[in-house]
Amino acid sequence: MKKKLYVARSPRIAARKLGEETLVMSAQGSTLFTLNPTATVLWQAADGITALDAIVERHICSEFEVEAEQAIRDAEALAEDLARHGILLISEKPISSTRNLTVQEQYR
Amino acid sequence: MSLMHEMGERALRLGVPFSVHLDLTYRCNEQCVHCYLDHDDHGEMTTAEIKHLLKEMADSGVFILTLSGGEIFLRKDFFEILEYARDLTFCIKLKTNAVLIREAQAARLRDLGVQSIQVSIYSHRPEVHDAITKVPGSLKRSLKAIRFLKSQGLRVVMANVLMTENMHDYRGTQALANEIGAEYTMDPTVTPMMDGGRTVLELNVGESDLRNVFRDENLIGNVDEFCAPPRAANEDDLNSLPCSAGHTSCYVSPYGEFYPCVQFPLSCGNVREQRFIDIWRHSERLKEVRSIRLRDLSSCSKCAHGGSCTRCPGLAFMEGNMRGPSTQDCEKSFARTGIPSLNLLSKKQEQDKDKDKDQDSPPRLVQIQLVPAITGRRLAEMGGGAVSAIAS
Ligand code: SF4
Ligand code: SF4
């Protein structure tokens, strides 16, 4: 059986929804992206706790009227692309509070 | 067009306040000679008020948030505010003198994903920088902090305000920035005090020095382009917006006052009394600022520099008329092109007349009027003896 994937927004980026799209800037402003409406939905739902297939079923299939299997494949490709740019974190386990992790790291 | 520029255009179309400058405090640990602020605390917003405001700003679509002061690190809750702001995914820019930044603070700024940190550096020579900040050892501490920030891989911009006191040091300061790996920006404009006081303007560099600065290609880049002959406004220019103030950006003071820009102190409301978005959408004053196009400016629309001038409407406002010229920008246009605007010519005539009047007048006891910086409070502090000494 295929393993579940969990996605979380990276804590090092800046982001804001502007109209239908989302503007995302990587840490220290080295790269700026815009996410289209589908990527925006995925991005907003990426809480680290909800599995990617559940996000697709709940938010993408219903809103964009696409078939689930294809939509999950597309979402995985999109998530990997966003992860390559440091915008999203992907894990096979749920990802807990990314913000607290980074802040605590400095006190180690 | 860059993506950021494109997003700015989209924000303008959507009526979104894309960028906000928020001063967290006016208190400061330096006392710079050219500073436009009153450093006393007249009731800064509390941590809870600032967090509430940040949430409102995020909900309103603000993306770029510049946190500045005064000195931001004087606020004990600074990191609490910054952490909250980052949780709201703002793109954060900081302005600081960096004197209080050590290794631990630099690491924390890196962890919190701050986009850039602008540090005020006035000279590469301690005796010049420290004389401007009036804090001995301040250059050494600021530079040490910049090195900490750079070692964390953070983006640092050294900002140099050029004035009579450091006029000859900008090349050295630029070289220092290069050596440390910081970016460098220089601004030759000393602005009036927030309360309208204009005595600090005496620190502005003179005309011929400014002309030389504007012809330094290490600073300016393409001098021929920068100092090209002036261009009168064409039809597109006449319909253009003066700048982003009030259109996609605005300013909030530590007391919650809402202005179109930090350099445009026209109070449009207070975020302690109204929601941020309500001021942004419904302030009559902001609507008036937004309605102004170059064609509405009686002098500038007809000026020879109209299409190429960098006129700041905030400086024009502080001079008395937001639809009028900004004499400081007339001076810059003149320094670039050698061609004076009509406003500059008439200002010079007025000054000459004033000078003639002063020379013609016989010595009088009312000579005390020539010392405008002496306020009632200071006269009282000096006591009657000092006053009569000036008058005699
Ligand atoms: S031109 Fe003046 S008022 Fe406009 S954004 Fe710049 S500083 Fe502010
Ligand atoms: S030079 Fe002066 S009068 Fe001419 S456009 Fe600029 S600010 Fe206006």
Say if A26 falls within a structural domain. yes
What pLDDT score was predicted for residue A97? 61
3-class DSSP string for chain B = CCHHHHHHHHHHHHCCCCEEEEECCCCCCCCCCCCCCCCCCCCCCCHHHHHHHHHHHHHHCCCEEEEECCCHHHCCCHHHHHHHHHHCCCEEEEEECCCCCCHHHHHHHHHCCCCEEEEECCCCCHHHHHHHHCCCCHHHHHHHHHHHHHHCCCCEEEEEECCHHHHHHHHHHHHHHHHHCCEEEEECCCCCCCCCCCHHHHHCCCHHHHHHHCCCHHHHCCHHHHCCCCCCCCHHHHCCCCCCECCCEEEECCCCEEECECCECCCCCECCCCCHHHHHHHCHHHHHHHHCCHHHCCCHHHCCCCCCCCCCHHHHHHHCCCCCCCHHHHHHHHHHHCCCCHHHHHHHHHHHHHHHHHHHCCCCHHHHHHCCCCCHHHHHHHHHHHHHHHHC
Contact list in B for residue A18 (CB cut-off 8 A) is 7, 10-11, 14, 16, 18, 61, 63
Say if A29 falls within a structural domain. yes
What pLDDT score was predicted for residue B359? 64
Q: What letter would DSSP give residue A21?
A: E
Say if A1 falls within a structural domain. no
Say if A30 falls within a structural domain. yes
B293-296 own/partner pairs: CB under 8 Å, 24+ apart: B293/B238, B293/B239, B293/B240, B293/B241, B293/B242, B294/B233, B294/B237, B294/B238, B294/B239, B294/B240, B294/B242, B295/B233, B295/B238, B295/B239, B296/B323
Instruction: Output the six-digit token pair for A102.
Output: 């980074």
Instruction: Output the six-digit token pair for B170.
Output: 């900008």
Partner B contacted by A28 (CB < 8 A):
yes
Contact A16 B61 (CB under 8 A): yes
Domain span holding position A90: 6-106
Contact A29 B91 (CB under 8 A): yes
| Nearest CA-CA distance, residue B89 and chain A, Å | 5
What is the pTM (predicted TM-score) of this model? 0.87
Assign residue A12 the CATH number of its domain.
3.90.930.60
At A89, which helix (H) or strand (E)?
Answer: strand A88-91
Q: Distance (Å, rounded) from C-alpha B263 to C-alpha B193?
A: 10
What pLDDT score was predicted for residue A29? 58
By the 8 A CB rule, do B200 and B373 touch?
Answer: no
Q: What letter would DSSP give residue A65?
A: T
pLDDT by position in tens, chain B (length 392):
688 888 899 999 999 999 999 999 999 999 999 999 999 999 999 999 999 999 999 999 999 999 999 999 999 999 999 999 999 999 999 999 999 999 999 999 999 999 999 999 999 999 999 999 999 999 999 999 999 999 999 999 999 999 999 999 999 999 999 999 999 999 999 999 888 888 999 999 999 999 999 999 998 999 999 999 999 999 999 999 999 999 999 999 999 999 999 999 999 999 999 999 999 999 999 999 999 999 999 999 999 999 999 999 999 999 999 999 999 999 999 999 999 999 999 888 888 887 777 665 543 333 322 222 322 233 233 322 222 222 22
Cα dihedral B132, B134, B135, B140 in deg (nearest 10): 20
The per-residue pLDDT for range A52-98, each reduced to its tens digit, is 999 998 888 877 777 888 889 989 999 998 888 888 999 999 997 65
* Domain count across chain A: 1
B328 pocket-lining for ligand 2 (C-beta < 6 Å): no
Per DSSP, the three-state class of A47 is: strand
B325 pocket-lining for ligand 2 (C-beta < 6 Å): yes
Cα dihedral B61, B62, B63, B69 in deg (nearest 10): -170
What pLDDT score was predicted for residue B362? 45
Candidate from B3, B111, B115 with C-beta closest to A14? B115
Q: Which amino acid is located at B150 in the chain?
A: K
30-69 in A: which are within 8 Å (CB) of B? 32-34
The per-residue pLDDT for range A5-59, each reduced to its tens digit, is 999 998 889 999 998 899 999 865 568 889 988 888 888 899 999 999 999 988 8
What pLDDT score was predicted for residue A28? 56
By the 8 A CB rule, do B105 and B127 touch?
Answer: no
Query: Closest ligand 2 atom, CA of B342?
Result: 3
What is the ipTM, given to two decimal places? 0.81
Contact A25 B107 (CB under 8 A): no
Say if A43 falls within a structural domain. yes
